[in-house]
């Protein structure tokens, strides 16, 4: 999986490991522990991704694309670099992993892929045109990959979190968290493990007949 060093990704990686998976984490940032196998990989670098995948001990059966960054600014003031860097990591990075691993999964007749998108890819977000576009694109990539690899036994789905109360999110301005709370239908906002459990379900045999879907895990922020 990508983006496993902290936050949502770390929770997903921990849940996978607890379920018995051998987790290989591709990330630029090293995690502060050794609970899974870490490889320093920039998902936006296609050659680095291909080399890292080729070095894995066998063909993966599961893939989670979670690598993501933000560079928030209104569209009128956004630089080319702020636009392209977010698209490069959030969308092109997932494409690189799917292109490298999807055909290998198809050749073995089995695979589960889950992409972490966002409710902002469904609804848009003021000041996040680059991020929203990357996450909307990831939904299109998910549905296309589901069609292309489905007959070979590979499912491809997406999970769309809203505000997730990671350590980073808890340091956001109180009004930002309060606004998310006002949007939510439920009393409590989403925790990282809520997202991890949704991912585990889509990777499980219980989701064998589900593909091309976007599962919102957002406490009802976007209904």
As a whole number of angstroms, the distance between CA 125 and CA 119 comes to 9
Give the active site residues: 131
What DSSP element (H or E) covers 201?
Answer: helix 192-203
Parse the chain into domains and list their residue ranges: 57-217
CA 13 to chain centroid, in Å, comes to 12
Looking at residue 168, its pLDDT comes to 83
Closest CA to 115 of 165, 153, 65: 65
78: Cβ–Cβ under 8 A, 6 or more apart, which residues?
Answer: 71, 129, 130
Token pair listed for 201 = 């379900």
As a whole number of angstroms, the distance between CA 55 and CA 163 comes to 35
- Contact by Cβ (8 Å): 12, 65: no
For the packed helices 93-108 and 129-149, what is the interaxial angle rounded to 10 degrees? 10
Looking at residue 114, its pLDDT comes to 98
Looking at residue 84, its pLDDT comes to 98
Looking at residue 48, its pLDDT comes to 97
- Contact by Cβ (8 Å): 192, 167: no
Mean pLDDT by 10 residues, the chain (223 residues): 94 96 93 86 97 96 96 97 98 98 98 98 97 98 98 98 93 93 97 98 98 98 96
pLDDT in tens, 43-95: 999 999 999 999 999 999 999 999 999 999 999 999 999 999 999 999 999 99
Looking at residue 34, its pLDDT comes to 78
Where would I find the H helices in the chain? Answer: 7-18, 46-54, 80-87, 93-108, 120-123, 129-149, 174-183, 192-203
- Angle formed at CA 90 by CA 84 and CA 92, multiple of 5 degrees: 70
CATH class of the 57-217 domain in this structure: alpha beta
pLDDT in tens, 174-184: 999 999 999 99
């Amino acid at each position: 999986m990508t983006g496993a060093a902290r936050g949502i990704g770390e929770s997903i990686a921990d849940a996978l490991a607890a379920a018995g998976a051998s987790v290989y984490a591709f990330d630029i940032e090293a995690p502060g522990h050794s609970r899974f196998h870490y490889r320093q990989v920039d998902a936006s670098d296609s050659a680095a991704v291909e080399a890292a995948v080729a070095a894995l001990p066998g063909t993966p059966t599961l893939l989670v694309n979670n690598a993501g960054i933000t560079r928030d600014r209104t569209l009128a003031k956004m630089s080319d670099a702020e636009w392209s860097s977010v698209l490069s990591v959030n969308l092109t990075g997932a494409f690189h992993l799917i292109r490298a691993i999807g055909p290998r999964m198809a050749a073995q007749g089995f695979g589960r892929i889950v992409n972490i998108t966002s409710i902002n890819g469904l609804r848009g977000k003021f000041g996040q045109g680059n991020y929203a576009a990357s996450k909307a694109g990831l939904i299109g990539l998910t549905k296309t990959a589901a069609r292309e690899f489905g007959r070979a036994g590979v499912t491809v789905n997406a999970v769309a979190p809203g505000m997730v109360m990671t350590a980073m999110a808890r340091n956001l301005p109180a009004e930002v968290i309060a606004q998310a709370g006002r949007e939510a239908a439920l009393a409590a906002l989403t925790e990282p493990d809520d997202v991890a459990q949704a991912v585990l379900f889509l990777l499980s045999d219980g989701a064998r007949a589900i593909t091309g879907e976007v599962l919102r895990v957002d406490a009802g922020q976007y209904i």
